Amino acid sequence: MLLPLAASASAPRKSQTYKKKTSKRVNYDQLDALCSISGLQNRKNPHTTEEAHQKFMTLYPKIFYREKTVLPGIPPTLSKRVLSSESVGGSKVDEMSHDIGIYVQKIKNPKKVWRESPEFKEKMNMLIGILRKIPILRSIKEHNTVYETMKLIPDIRAQLSEEELKELSMCTIKEYWAKGSTVVGNQGFYAILKGSARPQARCYKRMLGEDFDSLCVVMSTASQDTMFGFSGRTMLIRGSCFGTLETAPPKLPHILLSIITEENCEILKISSTDYLRIKEEIAKREQIAKEKLIHGCPYYRSWPVLYVFHLMSHLKWRQFPAGYVLLKGGEISTFVGFIKSGYCNVYRETEALVKLPLGKMVKQIRQVLVGQLHEQQSFGEVSILLQTPFTCRVVTATDVKLGIIDASAILGLDMVIQMLLLQTAEPTFDNIMQDEINFQYINKEKQKEWQRVKNKVVQDILFHNGIIPGLGKWTHEWSHPVKRGQKSTEQASLSCCLSDSNVGEPGDFNVSQQSFHQSSLSLSSSSSLP
């Protein structure tokens, strides 16, 4: 009985057996081939043959895997980008990319809402819901939604200006047409919001600028079979347009601008009568604004209305950003400008001695501010009529809206109007002498130097007293409560420093320095308080 127990105790359990772990650095196929070489030394063979030794030395290095050596160098930088759903040119781009070319391409090719996209369909359905109300019952927000959605329709956006489109969006209506109905587009411009239709002729819409006579010629020369063959191949879907914004002549056949609905359709209508009315109202407002602008300028207040109308016919509106150079000194003006909004700075040039960092003095051209041009002021008349160079440099200080008359239009006016212009207009800041400009430049440089000295004194006082504005208790918002009607010592002393640094003249330097010293003492004494 003891032998089986001993045998069972000495035998390892199945769970205790260890598996041989294969090394990642040893090639076991080559090791087996090395061990199977005949002629090596073993129990039966006391000596190794020369052939077996050479074969062993050849195969021995192959049993180890060699790691790839990485030479020193600059590794290639691979930027990990999070791709967004937006794409430029068909490829996805990084939202946090610093490549300026991507953003320039986005500006040149803005994101468009295609007619087949779900977004466009959703906007059209929203527009249908708003247009179910009559225009007088729509809110301001709904009018804005109609305006923004109408801009998504290409044929409407291409014909109307921003102002016209905004006015028309407040009187636009919606019509419902059942399947198989014939819609004649002679009295308005239509856009399909829902459904589909087929045109009855090749020319089913007339854009602004096209001639009705040419459409009639096309209608008369083209056979009816050709026209209907074309209509069978053309399908008008959501976003397609037909009709005309201008009233069609009576001789124009109704079939030319009409369609037949293939299913129940919701159609937006812009009445040609409303368009002509709004166009006349905008033209009247433009005339009133131009007349008010020209008559408001000092040179033209005593002008007869007839001569003002001659200038109004050539006036055009232009918008300029801040920092734009309208006129350069030494050049003849190319236009007459009437400032409607904003203002401009006028500069004159002067030679000044400038000290370089190494102490060398050189002459440089500096721009000196000599004045400003505000609303309802004009410039450039004398330079164009007398063909004399402009003595000043005019730069926009803010966003400026100008009424501009080109130089060719001014020179093409009647001789009486030109003589009247020369009598009333004056050169822009031409009466300023060079000595005055130099004196103004010197005063400006003195003020800059005095301001620099004051700032340096304040910074030194704060630095030597261990005060860092904006940090700790020297922040603008105090953490501890202050009783009503009282002011803390730190707040009072800091305001004293700031007030002394903003006011003062060069002659008051000693007095200001003494006040700064007293304020610093109060600051140091207050900093010791708990």
Residue 529 DSSP class: -
Do 155 and 191 meet the contact criterion of CB atoms below 8 Å apart?
yes
Do 349 and 434 meet the contact criterion of CB atoms below 8 Å apart?
no
**Stretch 199-228: mean pLDDT:** 65
pLDDT at 398 (0 to 100) = 93
pLDDT at 384 (0 to 100) = 92
Over residues 455-490, the pLDDT tens digits come to 999 988 888 888 877 776 666 554 444 444 444 444
For the chain, how far is it from start to end, CA to CA, in angstroms?
A: 94
Banded model confidence at residue 185, pLDDT cuts 50, 70, 90: confident
**φ and ψ at 451, to 5 degrees?**
-65, -40
Residue 70 has pLDDT above 70, yes or no: no
- Least Cα distance to 301 among 182, 411, 420, 201 occurs for 420
How many degrees, rounded to 5, is the angle at CA 50 between CA 44 and CA 54? Answer: 110
Percent of the chain past pLDDT 70, that is, above it, reads 71
> DSSP labels for 240-274?
-EEEESSPPPTTS-TTTTEEEESS-EEEEEEEHHH
> Which segments of 293-438 are extended strands (E)?
316-320, 325-327, 335-341, 344-355, 361-373, 378-379, 393-396, 400-406
**Stretch 308-322: mean pLDDT:** 91
The CA distance from 222 to 202, in Å, is 9
pLDDT at 270 (0 to 100) = 93
The CA distance from 124 to 147, in Å, is 12
- Least Cα distance to 437 among 429, 447, 428 occurs for 429
- Least Cα distance to 322 among 403, 399, 393, 375 occurs for 399
pLDDT at 269 (0 to 100) = 93
Identify the weakest region by mean pLDDT among 87-96, 306-315, 336-345.
Answer: 87-96
Identify the weakest region by mean pLDDT among 77-86, 147-156, 253-262, 428-437.
Answer: 77-86
Identify the weakest region by mean pLDDT among 399-413, 424-438, 485-499.
Answer: 485-499
pLDDT at 528 (0 to 100) = 39
**Stretch 43-55: mean pLDDT:** 82
Residue 523 has pLDDT above 90, yes or no: no
Radius of gyration of the chain (CA): 43
pLDDT at 365 (0 to 100) = 84
Banded model confidence at residue 525, pLDDT cuts 50, 70, 90: very low
Banded model confidence at residue 507, pLDDT cuts 50, 70, 90: very low
The CA distance from 393 to 365, in Å, is 13
Decide which of 375 and 20 is more confident.
Answer: 375
Banded model confidence at residue 76, pLDDT cuts 50, 70, 90: low
Report H helices in 198-342.
Answer: 212-221, 224-233, 272-296, 305-312
Tokens of residue 294, six digits: 């020209």
pLDDT at 522 (0 to 100) = 44
Do 150 and 172 meet the contact criterion of CB atoms below 8 Å apart?
yes
- Least Cα distance to 511 among 457, 464, 465, 468 occurs for 457
Q: Position of tokens 């390892």?
A: 12
Residue 41 has pLDDT above 60, yes or no: yes
Determine the residue type at 94: D
State pTM to two decimals.
0.58
**Stretch 420-434: mean pLDDT:** 84
pLDDT at 83 (0 to 100) = 39
Banded model confidence at residue 319, pLDDT cuts 50, 70, 90: very high
Identify the weakest region by mean pLDDT among 313-317, 331-335, 411-415, 426-430.
Answer: 426-430
Identify the weakest region by mean pLDDT among 91-105, 133-147, 289-303, 347-361.
Answer: 91-105
Provide CB contacts within 8 A for 315, sequence distance 6+: 290, 293, 294, 338, 403, 404, 405
pLDDT at 86 (0 to 100) = 43
pLDDT at 441 (0 to 100) = 86
Q: Position of tokens 């207009």?
A: 425
497 φψ region: left (φ > 0), alpha (ψ -120 to 50), beta (else): alpha
Around Cβ 436, how many Cβ atoms within 10 Å?
Answer: 13
Residue 482 DSSP class: -
Counting runs of H as helices and runs of E as strands, what totals does the chain give?
Answer: 18, 18
Burial letters for 179-203: b for 16+ Cβ neighbours within 10 Å, e otherwise?
eeeebbbbebbbbbbbbbbbbbbbb
Provide CB contacts within 8 A for 263, sequence distance 6+: 179, 195, 196
**Burial grade of 456 (CB within 10 A; 0-12, 13-18, 19 or more):** exposed
Do 388 and 404 meet the contact criterion of CB atoms below 8 Å apart?
no
pLDDT at 281 (0 to 100) = 93
Over residues 388-398, the pLDDT tens digits come to 988 889 999 99
Residue 205 has pLDDT above 90, yes or no: no
pLDDT at 233 (0 to 100) = 62
Do 346 and 359 meet the contact criterion of CB atoms below 8 Å apart?
no
**φ and ψ at 403, to 5 degrees?**
-100, 120
Tokens of residue 2, six digits: 């003891």
- Least Cα distance to 252 among 214, 226, 209 occurs for 214
Pairing between β-strand 205-206 and β-strand 241-244 as defined by DSSP bridges:
parallel
Q: Name the strands in the sheet holding 188-194, side by side, starting at the edge strand that comes first in the sequence.
A: 173-177, 265-271, 188-194, 241-244, 205-206
Over residues 107-166, the pLDDT tens digits come to 655 555 566 678 888 899 999 999 999 999 999 999 999 999 999 998 998 899 899 999
